[in-house]
Structure 1
Amino acid sequence: MRRVKPAFSLAETVVVLAIFLLLIQGGSLQVKRTREKILFDQTCTAVLQTLQHEIRVAAFKQQTVVVHVNNSRHELRVTHDGQTAEKIRLPEGMTVDSPVLEGLGSQIRSGGCISPYSISFKGYGYAKRYTIQLMWGKVREKD
């Protein structure tokens, strides 16, 4: 007489594997979302730090600085007296919206004075808006 050993059936094995794959996929989606949030926050910080730095450069070196955003090329460009000083690459899925920075760009006059304006970052399902005030380019996050 033959003994039958208890084992899982094929259907039970397939169901367990399907559940396992769903759990792995959910975790990878969360990792992707977290990575996008970190990239979004880092880009916002880099752009704002560059703006504040360039305002100080304009004040101390008595140079005119122009900040220009080109969303089609995914870049923010800073020029000092007509010469490109710095470029920041924007991630593919992210845009910087500011009517002042598009077109001719925002001019920071020598002395560090800048017209007040707002700048918005959008991408990956996130959005942030900041205002830049007059002297020394103080930046505040808007709710």
Structure 2
Amino acid sequence: MRAVIQRVSQASVTINNETVGAIEQGFMVLLGIHEEDTLEDVAYLVRKITKLRVFEDSEGKMNLDISAVNGAILSISQFTLHADTKKGNRPSFIKAGRPEMAIPLYDAFNQALQSEGLLVATGEFGANMQIALINDGPVTIIIDSKEK
């Protein structure tokens, strides 16, 4: 499971000209689910994301986690994070999780974040989405559960 985490001052997701999710300060998380991912990968990423200290404290140091700043998460499923670009110019997505296994893991990821007391807004799995965000910093972190 691969997550691209961007610290944002605001972010939103729109589907068919309708905003379906929006947050203020927090993280915009692009989540790519691999065909071999399990609930262990979900637990690992949730633990890492919720404890990630990238928000500034009173001295301007990145020392606070998302809960300390009452932040929220915009969670977006993105199978293209598992693109294989080794051969040719057209990416292969064969290693990305199929919907029948990826949707339950995406839902489990979002529910686990909510169980940590976070407000979680989402897009729609498999939909054509337009994402708007203001990357704060910019701060962008990539975490892969297979690279522990």
TM-score range, shorter chain: under 0.3
Which structure's residues are more often helix, by fraction?
A: 1
TM-score in terms of structure 1 length: 0.26
Report 1 or 2 for greater relative contact order, CA contacts < 8 Å, sequence distance ≥ 6.
2
Larger radius of gyration: 1
TM-score in terms of structure 2 length: 0.25
